[in-house]
Amino acid sequence: MQNEQTVAIKVENLKKVYKLYDRRSDRLKETFGLAKNKHKDHYALNGINMEIRQGETVGIIGTNGSGKSTILKIITGVLNPTEGKVTTNGRISALLELGAGFNMEYNGIENVYLNGTMMGFTDKEIEERLPKILEFADIGDYVYQPVKTYSSGMFVRLAFAVAINIDPEILIVDEALSVGDVFFQAKCYRKFEEFKEMGKTIIFVSHDLSSISKYCDRVYLLNKGDLLGQGSPRDMIDAYKRVLVGQYSVEEDSENNLLADEGINAAAAKSMGVNPKKLEYGTKQAYIEKFYITDDRGVQTTAVVKGSKFTIHVQVKFEEDLPAPIFAYSFKDIKGTEITGTNTMFEKAFLEPVKAGTVKYVTFTQEMNMQGSDYLLSLGVTGYEGDDFKVYHRLYDVLNITVVSDKNTVGFYDMNSEIEVKDL
């Protein structure tokens, strides 16, 4: 098909280098030739190559500081590269960070005309598109107020409405949808589907792995300015999960340049996703030494695919003899609502005394049926001494777990209904 053969964006050996100085005076000295080499080179992008075909929806993922936003700014012409080049084929409309391309003193209508003019449209052409823009933005009379008075949600509504209604052939979106409400986000994603059907090209940068999985045909993975790989959303999300725990190595692959699977790293309790300000208390007669999560392939992760099995691993050391310790976990949503959890007493899995000096390794294995979202994991070791309930060690909200899903139903849980519709 023609769409598959036409290249919309080609990125060749792209580098962006920033000079970093320890002191302001070093910058001045180097600028005026009073000293040499007073800076360090920081590669925001280091030799990136990409080829995005017309009609594709392509995601770019990576940790903060990986170069995602930098490459989008170079593609859209906001930044110039240090080396390399970008070739584009089609009219680009971009929704980058809030505020880009808008005058804060102008009202919404004036900013629509400003953006349209920057894209090369005449006032008459903008006027023809104005009703659709205002209908999609749906911010009422705020369009007549200066945009500096807008909430972030209203701002992104107007910015996205402009971006999609100026007939782009290539749409670039960088994280901005995360500030809109869920209803507006749903409307935006429906627009993505329309654009895909129309054969338009979409580049989508997001930390929302569920959206990346659902909407993208292909994904590029960046880390600290380097391109680690490109391939299917599932493969790249799996690779990204290994990046999050510092558990990857680059393996040359003729097709995808995927990441090598290094196996489980049980010592990664301090990996990304651990809450540095966790609430911790207890008598410490027993305490949690290590904890982590693995997916259905045994790979340590902080992201679990909905519908797959995963395991919570907890290692507990005992400082004193205890009659019958209870090992527990629970999940909360980011608003603090407790969603689910269990413990070894409920499950009748362990009701034995433990001697001082013992180390117990506890695993909880189950299927992930919570909806795609972010959750906080809490862990605990408790017990009864006679009639008294004792807390030996509790770690609240210790680990951020992302559930990746391409199908969310109503509420916290998916009931996994088996549906049958038939004629009578």
Rounded CA-CA distance 125/129 in Å is 7
Percent of the chain with pLDDT over 70: 87
Give the type of residue at 128. E
Rounded CA-CA distance 338/330 in Å is 7
Assigned domain for 423 exists: no
Assigned domain for 251 exists: yes
Q: Is 90 exceeded by the pLDDT of residue 354? A: yes
Last residue within a domain, chosen from 233, 260, 287: 260
- CATH number, domain of 153, equals 3.40.50.300
Residues 62 and 163 in one domain: yes
Residues 345 and 243 in one domain: no
Predicted pLDDT at 259: 35
Lowest mean pLDDT among 319-328, 329-338, 356-365: 329-338
Assigned domain for 162 exists: yes
- What domain range includes position 44? 2-260
Last residue within a domain, chosen from 227, 260, 293: 260
Predicted pLDDT at 253: 39
Residues 190 and 292 in one domain: no
Last residue within a domain, chosen from 226, 260, 294: 260
Residues 249 and 298 in one domain: no
Cα-based distances in Å from 315 to 269, 276, 350, 364, 365: 11, 19, 15, 12, 15
The predicted model gives 208-218 an average pLDDT of: 83
Q: Confidence band (pLDDT; 50, 70, 90) for 176? A: low
- Total domains in the chain come to 2
Assigned domain for 168 exists: yes
**For 216, left (φ over 0), alpha (ψ -120 to 50), or beta?**
beta
Assigned domain for 270 exists: no
Sequence-distant (≥ 6) Cβ neighbours of residue 214 within 8 angstroms: 406
Check if the beta carbon of residue 59 is closer than 8 Å to that of residue 206. yes
Rounded CA-CA distance 288/317 in Å is 7
Assigned domain for 411 exists: no
The predicted model gives 269-296 an average pLDDT of: 81
The predicted model gives 411-423 an average pLDDT of: 86
For residue 191, the number of C-alpha atoms closer than 13 Å in the C-beta half-sphere is: 23
Residues 201 and 104 in one domain: yes
pLDDT digits (tens, 9 = 90+) for 233-247: 878 887 887 777 665
Q: Confidence band (pLDDT; 50, 70, 90) for 225? A: very high
Lowest mean pLDDT among 9-13, 262-266, 369-373, 420-424: 262-266
- CATH number, domain of 393, equals 2.70.50.60
Q: What is the mean pLDDT of the chain?
A: 84
Residues 208 and 351 in one domain: no
Looking up tokens 């795609």, which residue turns up? 372
pLDDT digits (tens, 9 = 90+) for 85-114: 999 998 888 887 656 678 889 999 998 998
Predicted pLDDT at 179: 61
What b/e readout covers 138-163, taking b as 16+ CB neighbours within 10 angstroms?
ebeebbeeebeebeeebbbbbbbbbb
Predicted pLDDT at 100: 65
Residues 67 and 209 in one domain: yes
Residues 251 and 127 in one domain: yes
Q: Confidence band (pLDDT; 50, 70, 90) for 384? A: very high
Q: Confidence band (pLDDT; 50, 70, 90) for 262? A: very low
Predicted pLDDT at 261: 34
Q: Strand 286-294 to strand 303-305: parallel, antiparallel, or no bridges (unpaired)?
A: unpaired
Assigned domain for 187 exists: yes
The predicted model gives 78-90 an average pLDDT of: 92
Check if the beta carbon of residue 379 is closer than 8 Å to that of residue 314. yes
Q: Confidence band (pLDDT; 50, 70, 90) for 42? A: confident
Assigned domain for 222 exists: yes
Residues 175 and 130 in one domain: yes
Highest mean pLDDT among 103-117, 282-296, 327-341: 282-296
Predicted pLDDT at 248: 61
Residues 243 and 323 in one domain: no
Q: Is 60 exceeded by the pLDDT of residue 265? A: no
Predicted pLDDT at 392: 95
Q: Is 80 exceeded by the pLDDT of residue 385? A: yes
Lowest mean pLDDT among 113-117, 219-223, 286-290: 113-117
Residues 201 and 326 in one domain: no
Residues 332 and 228 in one domain: no
Rounded CA-CA distance 156/161 in Å is 8
**Both ends of the chain: CA-CA distance in Å?**
43
pTM confidence score: 0.66
What b/e readout covers 353-382, taking b as 16+ CB neighbours within 10 angstroms?
ebeeeeebebebeeebbbbbbbbbbbbbbb
Q: Is 80 exceeded by the pLDDT of residue 31? A: no
